[in-house]
Amino acid sequence: MQIGILGGGQLGRMLALAGYPLGLRFRTLDLSSEAPAGQVSELMAADFNDTDALKRFARGLDVVTYEFENVPVDPARFLSRRVAVFPPPEALEAAQDRLTEKRFFERLGIPTPPFIAVDSWDDLKNALNDTGLPAVLKTRRFGYDGKGQVVIRKTEDVSAAWQSLGGVPLILEGFVAFEREVSMLAVRSRNGETAFYPLVENHHHEGILRLSLCPAPGATSELQGEAEELASRALAALNYTGVLAIEFFQRDGHLLANEMAPRVHNSGHWTIEGAEVSQFENHLRAILGWPLGSTAPVGFSAMLNLIGTIPDLRSLLAMKNLHLHLYGKAPRPNRKLGHLTLRVPSAEARDTGLAHLRQLIGQSE
Ligand code: AMP
């Protein structure tokens, strides 16, 4: 069986690495001939809108998936007329635009922060009357890792925010003073079987995910049930196949959906060592219509992203419960170069291990 992946980043690379033990082969399509998945799969470098390249890409593939959500929808639709494409392109479409996405959640009764579409300076002033301050102004499309968004704290910040983002369709959200951020990784197979990983607690800095803890400290079975129920609505509405990640703000003990990603997700990297079957393998099983593997956690995990620089590997590797993943990318500021997963038998061991690890890599929070 050969699987096609649109996008050749680290997620594609980890999908391929999870698939080889199952006897699968991979072809990835990326703009860059240097894409990290190219080191472990047959890489085609081409534009996603090049239909001749898409035809060559699709030849002989059993199923096509994607590994980042800014793959344009039209090529996904074009491919879906030749070969099965999962998750459905509709999910891609819903997740690419923050306004469509929030309206999708709203339609399903999934709570979100308050939000209003903003297309002009007047819209922004009116919207701020509704949300009050602080508020978060975001571009509707192509935002990731905190890019394309500004927090407006004071009236004096409004015109600077408009100047930095105005001119493209925007969304204004009420600022949520959340207790914490958590994410749910749900998976649904072609045959309708679903499974859910335990809730993950996520810590961002400057809009980039730094740390994920799973199981999320103190997450009750009620909170897990709430997340599963909300995710189930999204899976059903999209007739979804594959892994779907939903990021939530937890406030007053309940969940507000911030965004979803129709793909494997950074907050699920811990599953490689920390769950019975990883998000990557389960995504592949799902898109192939195979039975899903267990999502049960194996111990307590902490996943730290390596961003911008790679620390001294010898001291990291000397930590006995630590698992190192490097993506084969050249260091560059704010670039995700790899991650570390600490997997230990107890929450206490996770706290001590994490403190030691942070010292080693010189990270304070
Ligand atoms: P996003 O790109 O929408 O995931 O936003 C990146 C990060 O900004 C989130 O993980 C939050 O930490 C923060 N953020 C985004 N939207 C809001 C909001 N409405 N209220 C408070 N914080 C937010």
What crossing angle do the helices spanning 73-80 and 89-96 adopt, rounded to 10°?
170
Question: Could you give the 3-state DSSP secondary structure of residue 126?
Answer: helix
Nearest Cα neighbor of 277 from 247, 298, 305, 260 is 298
E-strand stretches of 237-283 = 242-251, 254-261
DSSP state of 148: T
Which one of 258, 267, 334 would you pick to mutate in the ligand 1 pocket, going by the greatest count of ligand atoms within 8 A of its CB?
Answer: 258
Is 113 near ligand 1, meaning CB less than 6 Å away? yes
What crossing angle do the helices spanning 10-19 and 279-288 adopt, rounded to 10°?
70
Contact between residue 173 and residue 136 where contact means Cβ atoms under 8 Å apart: yes
- At a CB cut-off of 8 Å and minimum separation 6, what does 92 contact? 66, 69, 71, 73, 76, 262
Residues in the chain: 365
Q: Which atom of ligand 1 is nearest to the CA of 138?
A: 3
Which one of 97, 130, 136, 137 would you pick to mutate in the ligand 1 pocket, going by the greatest count of ligand atoms within 8 A of its CB?
Answer: 136
Residue by residue, pLDDT tens for the chain (365 residues) are 999 999 999 999 999 999 999 999 999 999 999 999 999 999 999 999 999 999 999 999 999 999 987 889 999 999 999 999 999 999 999 999 999 999 999 999 999 999 999 999 999 999 999 999 999 999 999 876 667 999 999 999 999 999 999 889 999 999 999 999 999 999 999 999 999 999 999 999 988 999 999 999 999 999 999 999 999 999 999 999 999 999 999 999 999 999 999 999 999 999 999 999 999 999 999 999 999 999 999 999 999 999 999 999 999 999 999 999 999 999 999 999 999 999 999 999 999 999 999 999 887 65
- Would you say the pTM of this structure is higher than 0.95? yes
Nearest Cα neighbor of 151 from 79, 204, 222 is 204
Is 181 near ligand 1, meaning CB less than 6 Å away? yes
- At a CB cut-off of 8 Å and minimum separation 6, what does 191 contact? 289
What's at 357, amino acid-wise?
A: L
Alpha helices for the chain (secondary structure H): 10-19, 51-58, 73-80, 89-96, 98-107, 121-131, 158-165, 221-237, 271-274, 279-288, 313-317, 347-361
In the chain, the largest separation of any two C-alpha atoms, in whole Å, equals: 59
Is 148 near ligand 1, meaning CB less than 6 Å away? no
Residue nearest atom 5 of ligand 1, based on CA coordinates: 146
Contact between residue 116 and residue 130 where contact means Cβ atoms under 8 Å apart: yes
What's at 80, amino acid-wise?
A: S
Residue 69's pLDDT is 79
Handedness of CA 63, 67, 70, 71 (dihedral sign): negative
Residue 362's pLDDT is 81
Residue nearest atom 11 of ligand 1, based on CA coordinates: 207
Residue nearest atom 16 of ligand 1, based on CA coordinates: 136
Residue 144's pLDDT is 65
Residue 324's pLDDT is 98
